[in-house]
Amino acid sequence: MNPVKTCSRRLFWVILIFMLLVFAGMTAAAYFGLNFMSERILTTVADADLQTPGGNEISQHIAAFYDMFHRIIIPSVGGAFLIFTLLTWFFSKRSTANVIRSMQPAGAKRKPGKKEPTEDIRKEQLRRDRRLFVHLLNVLQREGRLMDFFSEDLSLYEDAQIGAAVRSIQENCKKVVDKYLAPGAVVSENEGDQITVEKGFDPNAVRLTGNVTGEPPFTGIVRHRGWKSGKVELPILADTGSPDVIAPAEVEVG
């Protein structure tokens, strides 16, 4: 059994589960926090007997923000978490493979004419991997201001302002993801359509849920079409540059 492939699969599931837990925790905290704030506001309005156009307008704003939270904010943050998960696994896999190979016994068989990389080469490779990992974040920040959006306190803005900002961020970040990954659906059927999963299917590409018994083929309903990358376009980076800088500071000199 190839130890590199085995470790890569385990690493993927560890990273995926960790990122899902983080995403679920953040989403739950945001949801319950918003729910608590909205209940307090509505209770205050009711206690003050503000059955006026102003009180009704507050209720409408809260309902609109809840709708935007479910339709826009959660999918946008979830997509960002998915990108971070794939990038983390991809570059961690390469780094782990280098570490495993470096731990092989000195007497292990080597391919004729192939020299083992030196310590300086391994360090440079790890440094390059770190730069590649943050590169997509750099582009998402430059094109869509994604990092600025994550660092903002949304409670300081009106619902209309948040909606307009999220729409612009989503459009620009989508262009970047399409350029570097060209994502597409795993299955061609639409959600809600019936599909037959044949024998020999890839469990990493199709996850079965519900009453799964017996052997394939299985017939079921598509609940989510899945995502897969159409390409992975990695940039050519210069030899210089800090691997830790996601986006440079901007200083305007008068």
Lowest mean pLDDT among 150-154, 188-192, 234-238, 246-250: 234-238
- More reliable by pLDDT, 190 or 50: 190
Question: For the chain, how long is the longest CA-to-CA vector?
Answer: 86
Over residues 97-111, the mean pLDDT reads 59
Residue 143 tokens read as 């094109």
What's phi and psi for 197, nearest 5 deg?
A: -95, 110
Strand partners, 76: none
Collapsed DSSP state (helix, strand, coil) of residue 158: coil
Torsion of CA 24, 29, 32, 33, to 10 degrees: -150
Q: Which residues contact 62 (CB under 8 A, 6 or more apart)?
A: 38, 41, 42
Say if CB 113 and CB 47 are below 8 A apart: no
Start-to-end C-alpha separation, the chain:
63
Q: Where do the structural domains in the chain lie, given as residue ranges?
A: 1-103+116-185+228-254, 186-226
Q: What is the pLDDT of residue 122?
A: 80
Confidence of residue 226 (pLDDT cuts 50, 70, 90): very high
Distance of alpha carbon 241 from alpha carbon 254, whole angstroms: 26
Write the pLDDT tens digit of every residue in 131-154: 777 777 788 888 888 888 888 888
CA distances from 169 to 75, 149, 162, 163 (A): 13, 8, 10, 10
Partners of 218 in the β-ladder: 197
User: Token pair of 68, please?
Assistant: 């935007």
Confidence of residue 64 (pLDDT cuts 50, 70, 90): confident
pTM for the predicted model, two decimal places: 0.44
Residue 76 has what DSSP assignment?
Answer: H
Kindly write down the DSSP assignment for every residue of 100-142, as one continuous string. Answer: HHHTS-TTS---TTPPPPPHHHHHHHHHHHHHHHHHHHHHHHH
Token look-up 């809840």 returns 66
Contact present, 224 and 206 (Cβ < 8 Å) = no
Task: Kindly state the helix (H) or strand (E) to which residue 36 belongs, with its residue range.
Answer: helix 3-47
Closest CA to 89 of 129, 147, 144: 129
Coil/strand/helix, residue 24: helix
- The tens digit of pLDDT for each residue in 179-218 reads 888 889 999 999 999 999 999 999 989 999 998 888 999 9
Q: What is the mean pLDDT of residues 101-120?
A: 61
Beta carbons of 122 and 102 less than 8 angstroms apart: yes
- Provide, rounded to the nearest whole percent, the portion of the chain with pLDDT above 70: 76
